[in-house]
Structure 1
């Protein structure tokens, strides 16, 4: 796929680049479910939370490093050649790393594949709905991607419009959020004592709302008097009154996100039936995609249809998170006993 993309970059064939983009999405539909379903099979029960923390940290930092490297490469002469070479090298390194993953036996080696995408997707979602605890866990996962997409897609805009920052400020803000997610994810292992548990979920929910609302307050009270054409660097913003509060809010939003998402992913893996684990993760990806598309529509409605500002978008999202978070936590507490019993029965059988 990256060879196709490299040809598209070098010759600037946009149609070919769109084909490569579609194929990368297709690749992810295989890679994601296998990756998350493999983890509980390869790790011991008391290693699952820590492993998910590393997964989440690795994902956040890889996305961040990718954006930084892409920004650097685009500034070089013959940038399209550099980009093409880089994506090919990364693809080869990924393949070599994958060769060292220990083999695990298939949970259903005789499974017959249904090649009808629509019917198999619907049957997978129906099966998920028959497992209420996992259904609400996946709704919670998908809400995280809705929430994260709402914020991260707006970072370049509020960096330019409100902070009057240059490209380095955008990277710095994204770094704050990504590092926050990474630290929050890693701390889940220690805070839960490596036990699959939802006890950190209320703290994650509360943090996502508190710091989103505070980000609205800090951005609304920020007053930067510069010409529209003037772009400030990171060092310039450090001297602006109130900027540190904005930076802290973004970091703590990411930190809260780490506390929120890791327990949900660990619970999804721990309580999913072994025979359907990869398909459960596949259903999770379906809902993730729907929620991320909904996030884009939500932002368009708030900003363009209702005419609210970027800080007000963050405020509305934070308030919605309180409502959804309370609903989610109550539903999970209601159904977790049934999930524990079903998992125990599966182990006994």
Structure 2
């Protein structure tokens, strides 16, 4: 995927754009801070704060419009136009740098921020259009790795450029060359036509922003994912802003130590993004997010606890080599790296989740709403830091400890609002820690539309295993007694489980189950039914009951046969006695989920469907 024409030109384009943004912005700040300050009509501090504001302001003003534009024109053509605009902006910036016109450079920074605001939605909404579903997490991981490495390199290169003898000429040449390289790379991106009906594009900055946010809030799961990503940017902005003072006051380090902290944090995020791709096994896996959340809290707390005592000589200042050679800094450096790594685990699945769940013709608008909220959270982070550190005289360590505690509270809130996140986590634990689940044929699950999954029923955790195997949310039809197991009741209820029982036990529950199934299928959902009607008593597939036939007669939708192998004999199965009553003896045993191709359930009937599942169970297909 990485070297394919559908991804590599885009990847190079976005990396060069991020690198150029950060080189130009940091060169401007460093030039203002360390040279020609008398030429400014305002103070240096005011200019620096203005620079931060004018770069982020366009994300509030233009992101909503950018999302609509990206959803209503060829994305490759839009990227080429944006990169050409960047080339023009950087040509003007080169003149401003050489003439040392700082106010002109500030104006161009605003224009550059506007260009970035328009590039953001198309940057992420392009991925689900050009990548296969099983490549989406991989693509997002590469984008996040490239983004944070580019941020790091841009920040470091800016310092090198400004410190050189030819800083003005060097900066001017580099920003133009990077813009030119980005434009040339964008020319190789293949065409990506509009998906869906083209809308009339209106430019209404403030009203459009609120409409954009209101639209995405109609889908609570996407809205919560956006808030979670924005919270990460809240944390990240606070860390990056406090690094210089933290290094000076707590670590007694010089500017090279600040660069080290930035490098550890950025490389950690890049590594976390890569690990996320490895542990997601080719699909959007929300189950890894809690590991990122936990890491952000635990390693932030330990980072503060790992602050070493001040040097005996109060005037001593660590440089890069002295800092990394002192063993008392090893734990602190490892903690900061792990904070970044946890952040990578946290945000990559959330970006992929938004892309996979947003409607194809509204994906860019969802990303635009995300960019707006990211910018808002970063502004709030700056205000909070100013109030706590400047007004209330908190220490930086107290601020970071507060963020660690708030991170846990935010996670609890998000998981309470979107139980699917918690369900995927529990499913991930079962699939990768309690068992070793292998999924074959995941590509056979339809990307959209109604469908009925039929599967053999071996244990009480079948639904949790299948939940993790599916790339889409699934409504499970489940025996009422199983759906009310105390330890699993909460998860099953919020997963939209459809309880059913025999008409002799409760005719109302029986009839309501079929009505709920009908409504779910009319809503283009996936419904999973275990047609045997009960857990296996001998490990074999029992006769399918008539309920599946009744469902398909009313709603003749596609049927996806599945088979579970390896759960017979587990603590949750009936082997050797009733499930959950025997002593657990098998841990991390191999379990196979075999997913067959779509079949016509009406033609096959319940007995034919039983044979399909039995064939998958006895002779699993290969990828």
Fold shared by both chains (TM-score > 0.5):
yes
Q: Distance between the aligned counterparts of 1:101 and 1:346, measured in 2? A: 34
Q: Distance between the aligned counterparts of 2:135 and 2:313, measured in 1? A: 51
User: How big is each residue's C-alpha offset from its partner over 1:53-95, in whole Å with a ceiling of 9 and x where there is no partner?
Assistant: 0000000000111111111111111311111111111111111
Closer, same or farther: CA 160–340 of 1 in aligned 2, 3 Å = same
2:286–2:421 contact (8 Å) kept in structure 1: no
Q: Does 1:60 align with 2:148?
A: yes
Aligned to 2:333: 247
Q: Distance between the aligned counterparts of 2:324 and 2:128, measured in 1? A: 44
Out of 264, 268, 271, the position equivalent to 2:357 is 271
Out of 319, 322, 344, the position equivalent to 1:258 is 344
2:295–2:339 contact (8 Å) kept in structure 1: yes
Q: Does 1:188 align with 2:367?
A: no
Q: Does 1:176 align with 2:176?
A: no
Give runs of aligned pairs for residues 118-267 of structure 1, distance below 5 A. 118-219=206-307, 221-228=308-315, 230-267=316-353
Closer, same or farther: CA 194–26 of 1 in aligned 2, 3 Å = same
Shift of 1:124: 1.1
Q: Does 1:294 align with 2:386?
A: no
Shift of 1:238: 3.1
2:90–2:176 contact (8 Å) kept in structure 1: yes
Q: What is the root-mean-square deviation of aligned Cα atoms in Å?
A: 2.0
Question: Which of the two has greater strand per residue?
Answer: 2
Aligned to 1:330: 416
Structure 2 spans left out of the alignment, 5+ residues = 1-88, 424-471, 475-519, 527-556, 558-623
Q: Distance between the aligned counterparts of 1:260 and 1:286, measured in 2? A: 19
Give runs of aligned pairs for residues 95-110 of structure 1, distance below 5 A. 95-108=183-196, 110=198
Which secondary structure state, in structure 2, belongs to the residue aligned with residue 242 of structure 1?
helix
* Bigger Rg, which one: 2
Which secondary structure state, in structure 1, belongs to the residue aligned with residue 199 of structure 2?
coil
Q: Distance between the aligned counterparts of 1:252 and 1:182, measured in 2? A: 11
Q: Distance between the aligned counterparts of 1:240 and 1:83, measured in 2? A: 35
Q: Distance between the aligned counterparts of 2:196 and 2:110, measured in 1? A: 29
Aligned to 2:524: 345
1:132–1:335 contact (8 Å) kept in structure 2: no
1:222–1:242 contact (8 Å) kept in structure 2: no
Out of 93, 114, 124, the position equivalent to 1:5 is 93
Shift of 1:22: 0.6
Structure 1 spans left out of the alignment, 5+ residues = none
Q: Distance between the aligned counterparts of 1:224 and 1:309, measured in 2? A: 19
Shift of 1:242: 2.5
User: How big is each residue's C-alpha offset from its partner over 1:104-138, in whole Å with a ceiling of 9 and x where there is no partner?
Assistant: 11124622101111222111111111111111010
Out of 305, 312, 318, the position equivalent to 2:391 is 305
Q: Distance between the aligned counterparts of 1:150 and 1:133, measured in 2? A: 26
Which secondary structure state, in structure 1, belongs to the residue aligned with residue 125 of structure 2?
helix
Q: Does 1:320 align with 2:320?
A: no
Shift of 1:346: 9.3
Shift of 1:142: 0.5
1:212–1:315 contact (8 Å) kept in structure 2: yes
Q: Distance between the aligned counterparts of 2:181 and 2:93, measured in 1? A: 17
Q: Distance between the aligned counterparts of 2:110 and 2:313, measured in 1? A: 42
Which secondary structure state, in structure 1, belongs to the residue aligned with residue 201 of structure 2?
coil
2:355–2:363 contact (8 Å) kept in structure 1: yes
Q: Distance between the aligned counterparts of 2:220 and 2:421, measured in 1? A: 6
Shift of 1:306: 1.6
Give runs of aligned pairs for residues 109-120 of structure 1, distance below 5 A. 110-120=198-208
1:224–1:240 contact (8 Å) kept in structure 2: no
Shift of 1:180: 0.7
Which secondary structure state, in structure 2, belongs to the residue aligned with residue 245 of structure 1?
helix
Which deviates further from its counterpart, 75-84 or 198-207? 75-84
Closer, same or farther: CA 334–19 of 1 in aligned 2, 3 Å = same
* TM-score in terms of structure 2 length: 0.53
Shift of 1:188: 1.1
Shift of 1:345: 3.2
Which secondary structure state, in structure 2, belongs to the residue aligned with residue 274 of structure 1?
coil
Closer, same or farther: CA 23–226 of 1 in aligned 2, 3 Å = farther
Question: Which of the two has greater helix per residue?
Answer: 1
Which deviates further from its counterpart, 299-308 or 135-144? 299-308
Where relative contact order (Cα < 8 A, 6+ residues apart) is larger, the structure is 1
How many residues get paired? 344
* TM-score in terms of structure 1 length: 0.93
Shift of 1:302: 1.6
Aligned to 1:14: 102
